[in-house]
Amino acid sequence: MKVADIGKAAVNIAKGLGVTFGEQLKKPITNFYPDTPATVKDGYRGVPVLVQLPTGEFTCTACMACVRACPIGIIQLDTVMVDRKRAMDEFRLEVGRCLQCNLCVESCNFDALVMAPEFELASYTREPLVLYKNDLAKLYAKYFWPKEGEEHHFPARVTSKHHAPGAGTGTPRGPRAAKIAQTGVTLTPGGGGGEPAGKTPVGASVPAESAREATGTTRPQDTGAQKAGEGA
């Protein structure tokens, strides 16, 4: 141990003490969360929710892209035939197992699924963590429906490609969505059609695999990926 080392150490200790003393004078950054509402940053991924227009209609086209995209298969979708077209009947998301990976949102070609910054979902059992379409719509309404006297503004779809704020904002794409958006009817959230929230028996919903087979959906994304893989 050299004396010079001790001198150096003393200087460094004094510097360190100065830093920690300075920190004490600064304002604490503590968030008094349960007392004051917590804020989350833009782009925070909470729960994927279904876009429900004020008319009560869902912009989801039942294309099943999200069902296939989800890496753990927690999205389940029931379809019905309306006007000889497939439409979404019930949507089931087991949010307790959700990774917040955003893949379902990115895969949706109609901006019918967006991430809501909801984070207070804790519960004592698993059942409340299974969200049906009306629950998801309620969450959507909570975060994205206009306040009194505001225009309906569709949320940003945060994807890896368009991560800039505001990217992807706009009306939902697709013919049905455009049509619905023009009819300016207001409804209470979650009240639009179908059974009341959470009442659909689980057995009635079609599991992802069988739904895919039953509807005979082609897999455009899969083939695209394969082509890209061959090209590379």
Partner 1 sequence: MFGIPEPWWSVIRAVVWALFIIIFLAVNAIVAVWLERKVSGRIQRRIGPQRVGRPIGWAQTIADVFKLLVKEDVRAEATDKWVFLLAPAIPFAAITLMFLVVPWGKNLIPLNLNIGLLFVVAVTSFEVLGLFMAGWGSNNKWALLGAMRTAAAMISYELPMVLAILAVGMTAGSLNMNDVVNAQSRVPFILIQPVAFLIYYIASLAEANRTPFDFTEAESELVAGANIEYSGLRWAFFFLAEYGSLVGTSAIAATLFLGGWRGPILPGPVWFLIKTYLLVYVAMWIRWTLPRVRIDQLLDFGWKFLLPLALADIAVTGIVLALL
Is 79 among the residues that bind ligand SF4 (CB under 6 A)? no
Site string for ligand SF4, 86-125 (x = CB under 6 A): -------x----xxxxxxx--xx-x-xx------------
Among 49, 53, 62, 158, binds ligand SF4 (CB under 6 A): 62
Q: Beta 75-82 vs 85-94: how paired, if at all?
A: antiparallel
CA separation (Å) from 148 to 143, 151, 185?
A: 13, 9, 15
133 vs 78: CA distance, rounded Å = 11
Kindly state whether residue 4 participates in binding partner 1, applying the rule CB under 8 A: no
Residues in 19-58 at the binding interface with partner 1, rule: CB under 8 A: 19-21, 23-24, 26-30
Residue 137, number of CB atoms within 10 A of its CB: 27
Number of residues that bind ligand SF4 (CB under 6 A): 27
* DSSP 3-state of 203: helix
CB of 162 to ligand SF4, least distance (A): 16
Smallest gap, in angstroms, from Cβ of residue 48 to ligand SF4? Answer: 5
Q: Is 146 in the site for partner 1 (CB under 8 A)?
A: no
The span from the first CA to the last CA of the chain, in angstroms, equals: 60
Measured distance CA(134)–CA(140) in Å, rounded: 10
Length reported for the chain: 232
| 3-class SS shares of the chain: helix, strand, coil, % to 5 | 35, 15, 50
Smallest distance from the beta carbon of 32 to partner 1, in angstroms?
Answer: 8
Site map for partner 1, 52-91, x if CB under 8 A?
Answer: ----------------------------------------
Residues that bind partner 1 (CB under 8 A): 1, 6, 13, 16-17, 19-21, 23-24, 26-30
